Amino acid sequence: MEQRIRALGHEHVSAEHTSTFELTSDDWLTPAGDCILGIGADTTPVAFDDAFVAACRSHEAAITATLCAGEFEQTIEGHGHPDLRFENDRSMVVRTSEYVDDRTVMVGADTAAAEIDRDLVTELEAGAELECVLRVDVE
């Protein structure tokens, strides 16, 4: 099962956060938002498909996030959690930790913003379109 999110890069994308990355539906970004990779996201967790949400609510759910900007692509792997709520209407966060709140869409991720390919980050700093494809497989 997949969930696609489209967003835009921004001149303040720095991708320096060491434990998360985020996409937001907000249309602005300050330099303090060092985890945010894209703004103006066209969908948020509250609007995700019910079947997708249900599949993610398992420790056995393998979740991947594939980020594409320009000619660059990177896939991040993590997993689900029974406490994932998918209630936020502004942003989604992928976490390397097991922390869960209403913005969390994946935990145990193998990559945070600071580890995103710098060529992909450069594209986002230039305002490139970003596509994030979340995929869940329950084993």
Q: pLDDT per residue over 82-118, tens digit each? A: 999 999 999 999 999 999 999 999 999 999 999 999 9
Using one digit for the tens of pLDDT, what is the confidence trace for 122-138? Answer: 999 999 999 999 999 98
Distance of CA 35 to the CA centre of its chain: 10
User: Among 32-36, 39-43, 62-66, 135-139, which is the least confidently predicted range?
Assistant: 135-139
The predicted structure's pLDDT at residue 138:
85
- The two three-digit tokens of residue 30, written as one number: 């300050």
In a 3-state reduction of DSSP, which class is residue 40? coil
CA within 13 Å, CB half, 27: 0
Give me the pLDDT at residue 109, please: 98
Q: Has residue 12 got a pLDDT over 90?
A: yes
Res 132: pLDDT? 98
Name the CATH architecture for the domain at 2-138: Sandwich (2.60)
Residues 6+ away with beta carbon under 8 Å from 80:
55, 56, 57, 58, 59, 60, 61, 62, 63, 106, 107, 136
The percentage of the chain sitting over the pLDDT mark of 90, rounded to a whole number, equals: 98
